[in-house]
Structure 1
Amino acid sequence: MNAPRTRVQRRPVHGVLLLDKPLGLSSNQALQKAKWLLRAEKAGHTGTLDPLATGVLPLCFGAATKFSQLHLDADKTYEATARLGVKTSTGDAEGDVIAERPVQVSVDDLARVQAQFTGPLRQVPPMHSALKKDGKALYEYAREGIEIERAPRDVVIHELSVTAIEPELIRIVARVSKGTYIRTLGEDIGEALGCGAHLRSLRRIATGDFGQAQCVTLAALEAMGEDVRLAQLLPPEALVAGHGRVMLGTEDAARFLSGLRRRGDWADADEVAVFGSAPVAFLGTAHVTANELIPGRLLNPIEIQQILLNAPQNAPTCETTP
């Protein structure tokens, strides 16, 4: 007879956990595990990683989920290894071998494809992806042997390094725009080299300003005491660290939080992070047009109070005042 499951007492948790996602777990499985460990009420992630990929996966809790879209759109940096001369049905090591060709690749060849695949590209998303057609993921169709027509998408490879590790193994490091498939990039590089390729490993080493050195593993998180786990969270404003900052006095902060525009000597800006000054607290985002601060996504007073109670040192490092 199975023992009864212990019910976890959820609580409001606000912040960003930079997780080093392990091999074999889906992004949602990793999220649910971290959510359980933190006993958090609300959680979401900023874009998925394949189960066969590891690395930087920012997880958002509570109020931070309001700003997760900002990192869905952020550039990502990946490190991958690709096996030349062998194509698989999935573009990675999990698939069946569908073609083999001899490998004759020189340093000049690698330099050529590095230049060829740097900059704007058009990519056809792979069938083994989480993109949906009629509410069903493409990889589900692929498992049934059904090929779905996919429209090419425009992506940008901002930086690319392609180097040899062994005669038939290359290392790819790429900083790419949202929506870029590294498996597809690896396959396309293999075709351009005339021998085909598939990915042997894939790791995300950065997303936006967040890097792998800042991440914590699930195993480490599980071994921590509860207070130490909570201390791993970055404040919600970590998601808007690249924004200009506006500091409001008490009266203006209250009106701003109610959705009212404020006037001040601010330069026009597409996005700013707004803080109240007494006490110092992150209020949300806004944009500035013709000296008007126009509210965007806002925290509510209860969320702000909870954040202040749990993270009294949570203050911005710089500010802009009218």
Structure 2
Amino acid sequence: MTEQKKSKKRPISGWVVLNKPYDFTSTQAVGKVRWLFSAAKAGHAGTLDPLATGILPIALGEATKAVPQVQDGTKVYRFSILWGSATTTDDREGEVIATSDVRPDRAALEALLPQFTGLIMQRPPIYSALKIDGERAYDLARAGETVELAPRPIEIDALEVIAHGAEESVLEVTCGKGTYVRSLARDIAEALGTRGHVGSLHRAAVGPFSDEDAVTIEQLEALEAGDARDALLAPVSAGLVDLPEIRLDAGQAGAVGNGNAILLTGAGAPAQLDECWVSFKGKVLATGSVEFGQFKPRRVFN
């Protein structure tokens, strides 16, 4: 029996803005997309739990160099709180560990939300990927060990009630990096004198990408491999649009392509930027910073 030939991997670059399905890990989603595009390299910007659906930006090729900029961007989540019970995982997949007969009304819920807006301290769920002495918290929790995670500062830009019912409420949160929606649901319930956990979770936006940009695995599978499927890729630069762009001339582009710093010239040239990207003829050349009028590359794109 002859072995089946492996498909040749392509040096293709760009973003697949995937609407990740329920009960699918982020790693599985990346593997599936990488296989569909026969991509030589792939990664993702911001992990989603298996129970969560929504925006998972998957970077192919050179787009993987822009993953940090995307995953550090603002995120929007739509989630439901199931009232009356707390679970080990702070979502519906965990075991119930406490219950309450208290059911908050909408007015009480809305009155509380300002306390969870702005810079707040949040204790991550024990079933998280955070490390304690080199071990993942969820691995320790599953092994029956006591897990203590210290509260951390997070930024909540906006939090509102979308729908309210006696047993379940739907909220939408706009937040920064490191926010755990499961912890948010747990803490809101406790502040209202009851218990609660996440019933459903959908990420509606990550950085520059939102639901309007998303495709499903089924949509990708329905297209022929090659040009038809490749047409759904967003360019590498799409992951950097929230940062300032500096356009270079041919000489400057050549220097940056070799990893060298360059002096920016012209009346509008910035003197100082913590983070930006430079381009030549619409193509991303590098990300970096500007110090005293000089662009210093951190990551150079091919």
Give the TM-score, by structure 2 length: 0.93
Q: CA deviation at 1:99?
A: 1.8
Contact (CA 8 Å) 1:103, 1:168: kept in 2 or not? no
Q: Mark the CA change 1:63 to 1:88 in structure 2 (over 3 Å): closer, same or farther.
A: same
Letter in 1 for 2:299: R
Contact kept, 8 Å, 2:158 with 2:175, in 1: the verdict is yes
Counterpart of 1:208 in structure 2 is 207
Q: Counterpart in 1 of 2:90?
A: 91
Contact 1:110 1:163 in 2 (8 A): no
The offset of 1:288, in angstroms, is 2.1
Q: 1:276 aligns with which of 255, 274, 280?
A: 280
How many percent of aligned residue pairs carry the same amino acid? 38
| 1:75 counterpart = 2:78 | no
For 1:121-141, what per-residue CA distance to the aligned partner results, in whole angstroms no more than 9, with x for missing partners?
111111111222344322122
Aligned to 1:240: 240
State the 4+ residue runs in structure 1 displaced beyond 3 angstroms: 2-6
Shift of 1:5: 5.5
Q: Is the 8 A contact 1:158 1:174 kept in 2?
A: yes
Distance 2:4 2:175 in 1: 43
The answer as to 2:9 corresponding to 1:10 is yes
3-state DSSP of counterpart to 1:154: strand
Question: Counterpart in 1 of 2:150?
Answer: 151
Per-residue deviation, 1:164? 4.3
Cα distance between partner residues in 1 of 2:148 and 2:4 = 45
Post-superposition CA distance 1:96-142 (Å, at most 9, x none): 12222112422321122211111111111111112223443221222
For residues 131-184 of structure 1, give each alpha carbon's deviation from its aligned partner in whole angstroms, at most 9, with x where no partner exists.
Answer: 223443221222222122212111011100135432121111101111110000
1:298 to 288, 297, 300: 300
Task: Write the distance in 1 (CA, Å) between the matches of 2:259 and 2:139.
Answer: 43
Residues in 1 aligned to 2:107 and 2:207: alpha-carbon distance in whole angstroms: 31
Shift of 1:272: 2.6
How far did 1:241 drift? Answer: 0.6
The residue number in structure 2 matching 1:229 is: 229
Q: CA deviation at 1:237?
A: 1.0
| Contact preservation (8 Å) 1:20, 1:57 | yes
Match status 1:260 vs 2:249:
no
CA RMSD, 1 decimal: 1.8
**2:188 corresponding residue in structure 1:** 189
Deviation at 1:9, TM superposition (A): 1.5
> 2:20–2:53: 8 Å Cα contact kept in structure 1?
yes
| Distance verdict in 2 for CA 1:140–1:4, change over 3 Å | farther
TM-score by length of 1: 0.87
Residue 3 of structure 1 deviates from its aligned partner by 9.9
Q: Which runs of 5+ in 1 are unaligned?
A: 301-322
Count of aligned pairs between the two proteins = 297
Describe the SS at the equivalent of 1:68: helix
Contact 1:43 1:60 in 2 (8 A): yes
Unaligned runs of 5+ in 2: none
Conserved 8 A contact 1:284-1:298:
yes
Letter of the 1:63 counterpart: E
The residue number in structure 2 matching 1:303 is none
Q: Which residue of 2 aligns with 1:286?
A: 288
